[in-house]
A and B are shown apart, each in its own frame.
Chain A
Amino acid sequence: MKKFGTGAIHFFLITVSIVSLFPFAWMLIGMTNSSAEVIKGKFSFGAEFSNNVAKLLEMTNLGTAFWNSTLIAVVGTIATLILSSMAGFGFEIYRTRGKDRLFGVLMLSMMMPFAAIMIPLFRMFSKMGLLDTPAAAILPSITTAFMIFFFMQNTKSFPRELLQAGRVDGLNEWSLFARVYMPTMKPTYAAAAIITFMNYWNNFLWPLIALQSQDKKTLPLVVSSLSSSYSPDYGVIMVAIVVTTLPTLLIFFLLQKQFVQGMLGSVK
């Protein structure tokens, strides 16, 4: 009876694992097949890979899109980490009733649906003349209540004696932040960086509105426009999807621990 139970559990988990992994296998296989073969469901490697890559490079500005995505994600992540950790540090270390209240109000922004703010945001960026620039893609999420919350939570376990010691050594508050807090909190920064990078890298709705000319597009926008054309070439699309997914997949495998920590961060 007990044996049977374990067997059933393994069967269930293997099934779920196969379903989870199948689309990954599908995109790797699809990238080596022609569009017709992908649509016909051919589930074996083909010989079209270099052909698909050549077509993709011809049809899109893939290099530019990759660069745009990288620029937006890297600059966005660095700025978000600095600003959000500043706030997390300030709200937690110098805790007062006024600041707690302010933080409570800021948390409300987490419940605001993006669709409800995108139109005024669009008009705001249009007035500022920033539409179609990387800045437009970066700015709206450059500080989020979620990230501030994440840093606050993790700051709770920060050893405050370090700050006292630094003050005795004559450091002012900003150098305490930069030279004591930041290095001590490296694991938190790593986890936060992964989550923020993923959000910028994968973002779709706002870039779709804010970045309209061809040479400003990010990778998800390229994938989406390839697949919504009248006769989508699925072999080519698979290559684009693999290019889009590879960086986040690599980050996941290299930094699995921090990755999961980042996801869990807010509910410690």
Chain B
Amino acid sequence: MNSKLTRSNLMGWQFVLLPSIIIVLFSFYPMIQSLFLSFQSGRGNVYHYSGMDNYVRLFGDPMFRQAVWNTLLYLVVQVPLMLFLGLIIAYFLNIPKLKFKGFYRTAIFLPCVTSLVSYAVLFKSIFAVDGVLNGMLLSIGLIHEPVVWLMDPVWARVVIVVAITWRWTGYNMIFYLSAMQNIDSSVYEAASIDGASKMRQFFSITVPMLRPIILFTAIISTNGTLQLFDEVVNLTNGGPGNSTMTISQYIYNLSFVYTPNFGYAATVSYAIVVMVAVLAFLQLKVGGEKK
């Protein structure tokens, strides 16, 4: 019996070994290389150890500060907005006798099939100065002159937030909807008998019961926002005047657009690593504790 168990244990390793090696090779190894690189300076393929130089530069780098600020701004504004919207939509779609549910669900989920590049370019054309959105807003009298969406530092950020929300709200909604379907309807019935309003039920039953899944989507979205790249590059290319540039784009520019400086780019990239880790930890602390 025991030898059979050991044999089965060894059998298992032959299935997990190759995939594990691949992950180590293409994720962990580069991650460690990146750390070494962040203590080096140089150009092209010649690098030398330069101690903390890159880290000193990092803290005095206005462009880095701008990129971090922009990224955090997207995070703080966009993620809560999107998760809340997703929750409300899911809550409505979970109403038992609501008509056209299937249509709404499909329509709201559909943005998820577009590639990030495609929808970013689509939004760029929709938000053009003489474009379709300004035309519509002008014709209903909501604005009196065209808004220069993508050339204004504030509006450009708004457009990016709107675009990301458009692409991902349906994705989060699906998670909430499937979790809501697991809540026993008798909980709501009991609350109704006790006289709790729909609004009250939403905040006192639905949200607390979905806590783990909200936490999950919050971590996924935070992770995604901290790595934001495709949308910004294709919508505004970081402009106007770096006002929409994200950390990922800055790293890309440092490595492949400006004179390549892989060492410093690696240093900047470790800033994201630290932010991802800290924020995930905080979210787990805040969201995971109470039951």
Q: Which residues of A contact B (CB under 8 A)?
A: 5-6, 9-10, 12-14, 16-17, 19-24, 26-27, 30, 38-43, 83-84, 86-87, 89-91, 93-96, 99, 102-103, 106, 108-109, 111-124, 139-145, 148, 173-174, 177, 198, 201-202, 204-205, 209, 219-220, 223-224, 227-228, 234, 237-238, 241, 244-245, 248-249, 251-252, 256, 260, 263-264, 267
Q: Given known contacts A112-B31, A119-B34, A238-B125, what 10 new A-B pairs fall within 8 Å (CB)? A: A17-B108, A20-B107, A96-B9, A116-B34, A120-B29, A148-B19, A223-B121, A224-B121, A241-B118, A263-B174
Our pick among B26, B115, B223 for the contact of A204 (Cβ within 8 Å) is B115
**Measured between C-beta atoms, what is the minimum distance from B230 to chain A in Å?**
5
CA distance A96 to B276 in the complex (A): 30
Contact A87 B256 (CB under 8 A): no
CA distance A24 to B123 in the complex (A): 11
**Measured between C-beta atoms, what is the minimum distance from B98 to chain A in Å?**
7
Looking at chain B's contact residues, the main secondary structure is: helix
Contact B113 A248 (CB under 8 A): yes
**Measured between C-beta atoms, what is the minimum distance from B273 to chain A in Å?**
5
Minimum CB distance partner of A251 in chain B? B113
Residues of chain A lying within 8 A (CB to CB) of residue B12: 90-91, 93-96, 99
**Measured between C-beta atoms, what is the minimum distance from A186 to chain B in Å?**
19
Contact B9 A244 (CB under 8 A): no
Given A173-B11, A201-B115, A224-B117, decide whether A119 and B16 contact each other with a Cβ distance below 8 A: no
Residues of chain A lying within 8 A (CB to CB) of residue B89: 13, 16
Contact A106 B23 (CB under 8 A): yes
Our pick among A91, A227, A264 for the contact of B124 (Cβ within 8 Å) is A227
Contact B230 A113 (CB under 8 A): no
Residues of chain B lying within 8 A (CB to CB) of residue A109: 23, 27-28
Residues of chain B lying within 8 A (CB to CB) of residue A24: 110
CA distance A5 to B122 in the complex (A): 34
Residues of chain A lying within 8 A (CB to CB) of residue B22: 83, 142-143
Contact A116 B273 (CB under 8 A): yes
Query: What are 20 A-B pairs with beta-carbon distances under 8 A?
Result: A17-B103, A24-B110, A26-B132, A39-B131, A41-B128, A96-B9, A102-B16, A111-B280, A113-B227, A116-B269, A116-B273, A117-B27, A173-B11, A205-B252, A209-B252, A220-B118, A228-B237, A241-B122, A248-B115, A267-B179
Contact A90 B16 (CB under 8 A): yes
Residues of chain A lying within 8 A (CB to CB) of residue B130: 39-41
**Measured between C-beta atoms, what is the minimum distance from B260 to chain A in Å?**
9
Minimum CB distance partner of A79 in chain B? B22
**Measured between C-beta atoms, what is the minimum distance from B248 to chain A in Å?**
4
Q: Is B126 close to A, CB under 8 A?
A: yes
Contact with A along B168-192 (1 / 0, CB 8 A): 0011001100110000000000000
**Measured between C-beta atoms, what is the minimum distance from A123 to chain B in Å?**
7
**Measured between C-beta atoms, what is the minimum distance from A80 to chain B in Å?**
10
CA distance A83 to B233 in the complex (A): 33
**Measured between C-beta atoms, what is the minimum distance from B109 to chain A in Å?**
8
Across the A-B interface, the 5 shortest Cβ-Cβ residue pairs:
A94-B12, A90-B15, A41-B132, A202-B115, A120-B30
CA distance A202 to B111 in the complex (A): 13
CA distance A103 to B112 in the complex (A): 29
**Measured between C-beta atoms, what is the minimum distance from B233 to chain A in Å?**
7
Contact A223 B248 (CB under 8 A): no
Minimum CB distance partner of B101 in chain A? A13
